[in-house]
Amino acid sequence: MLAVETRNLTKDYDIKKDGKRAHLRAVDGLDLAIEKSEIYCLLGPNGSGKTTTTRLLAGILRPSVGGARILGLDVVEDASQVRSIVGLLTETPALYERLTVRQNLTFIANLYDVPKEEIKTRIEELINLFDLPEKIDLPAGSLSKGMRQKVAIARSMIHDPPVIFLDEPTASLAPESAKVVRDQILKLSKLEKRTFFLCTHNLFEAERLSTRVGIINHGKLISEGTPTQLRDLKKDETTTVFRFAVWDDVIKNFFQERNYDVLDINPERKSISIFIREIEKETPTIIDELIKQNFPMFEVRHEYPTLERVYLELVMSENLPRNQEEEES
Ligand SMILES: Nc1ncnc2c1ncn2[C@@H]1O[C@H](COP(=O)(O)OP(=O)(O)O)[C@@H](O)[C@H]1O
Ligand SMILES: [Mg+2]
């Protein structure tokens, strides 16, 4: 059974445009199939439909067309069951500022019908998991923004949900807190087979964390795959950098005589960047020859395209006409 499955998932919002009723297609025919214990990252620019997708999947927004199942449960027919088996961190979570962290967590645990005798242990577990300090008995309002976000993430998991939706979980976190959150997500998916669905802008995070990435633009999925598969879309743009202890223009000649595409020469850094068509085959040959010629080479490095480069290119090349706003007659 899939953790998340959607078919033609579509959401139109009613809006007013030039004083007339209209609708805006925020999510447009998404077909997703996410296995248990995956960490799926939905990437996309602002307004591309990430938050709407998350809300549809968490059973708090009704699809206009199509549908979705979470662990086999229909997000419309079985909405209340869906809400009980999913965790949701919203984009701008709010805590009860005057309640302590512990009271906040206890309150939500009761809402989710966590058995009374389990609440205390569950809270302790989450506090340890997310490295929340002794501040647990202070009013939530007195905590830093980052700390509140960690409490909100812990809160989304209070009822031990097998499927967890996190909408930009680390956007407001300092690097060390973001790392704690990332590490715990990895741990929870590996050891406890929980499924995570993350919306993020952070490509570094997506690259580190995700089993698969989906790129969404104007509500449509425009690309999907493992980070490696996505990076491989631009594999032919890999460059190779050679660095030397001492620079000499004969090095340049060496590459030019052999008709390599020289992309950059930097005498100050004593480096030259070239494009090699068949990296695996040609690189060892070049290294051999450079050594034979006694060039004092000390570094060879391939610069592979990053997920960021692939993402930016995919999103920016998408100049789809914005025909998603249709007037109602
Ligand atoms: N409640 C709403 N009413 C009308 N339009 C909305 C509403 N929520 C979001 N939208 C619009 O839907 C589109 C997708 O928004 P959203 O899902 O928030 O995208 P993202 O999370 O990727 O930034 C945007 O054009 C946004 O303005
Ligand atoms: Mg959003």
Atom of ligand 1 nearest to the CA of 13: 4
The torsion angle over the Cα atoms of residues 264, 266, 271 and 274, rounded to 10 degrees, is: 10
Q: Provide the token pair at 271.
A: 């480096």
d(CA 13, CA 16): 10
pLDDT in tens, the chain (329 residues): 999 999 999 999 999 989 999 999 999 999 999 999 999 999 999 999 999 999 999 999 999 999 999 999 999 999 999 999 999 999 999 999 999 999 999 999 999 999 999 999 999 999 888 888 677 899 999 998 888 999 999 999 999 999 999 999 998 889 988 998 899 999 999 988 999 999 998 899 999 999 999 999 999 999 999 999 999 888 888 899 999 999 999 999 999 999 999 999 999 999 999 999 888 899 999 999 999 999 999 999 999 888 998 999 999 887 544 544 444 33
d(CA 167, ligand 2 centre) in Å:
7
Q: Which ligand is nearest to the CA of 92?
A: 2
Minimal CA–CA distance to 313: which of 219, 198, 231?
A: 231
Query: Could you count the other beta carbons within 10 Å of the beta carbon of residue 130?
Result: 18
CATH topology of domain 239-303: Alpha-Beta Plaits (3.30.70)
Q: Which ligand is nearest to the CA of 42?
A: 1
Atom of ligand 1 nearest to the CA of 91: 21
Q: Provide the token pair at 125.
A: 């577990």
d(CA 202, ligand 1 centre) in Å:
19
Q: Provide the token pair at 172.
A: 């407001």
d(CA 115, CA 109): 8
The torsion angle over the Cα atoms of residues 38, 42, 43 and 46, rounded to 10 degrees, is: -160
Task: Kindly report the three-state secondary structure assignment for every residue of 71-86.
Answer: CCEECCCCHHHHHHHE
Residues 6+ apart with CB under 8 A from 134: none
Q: What per-residue confidence (pLDDT) applies to 319?
A: 53
For the chain, what are the domain ranges?
A: 4-226, 239-303
Read off the pTM: 0.86
Largest CA distance in the chain: 78
Pocket test residue of 10, 13, 220, 325 for ligand 1, highest count of atoms within 8 A of CB? 13
Minimal CA–CA distance to 255: which of 263, 200, 38?
A: 263
In contact, 45 and 73? CB cutoff 8 Å: no
Instruction: Please tell me what DSSP assigns to residue 98.
Output: T
d(CA 36, CA 127): 25
Place of tokens 């850094």: 269
d(CA 266, CA 321): 42
CATH topology of domain 4-226: Rossmann fold (3.40.50)
d(CA 249, ligand 1 centre) in Å:
56
- Please check whether the two domains, 4-226 and 239-303, share a CATH topology: no
The sign of the dihedral angle between the CA atoms of 255, 257, 263, 266 is positive
- Give residues (CB < 6 A) around ligand 1: 13, 15, 24, 26, 44, 46-52
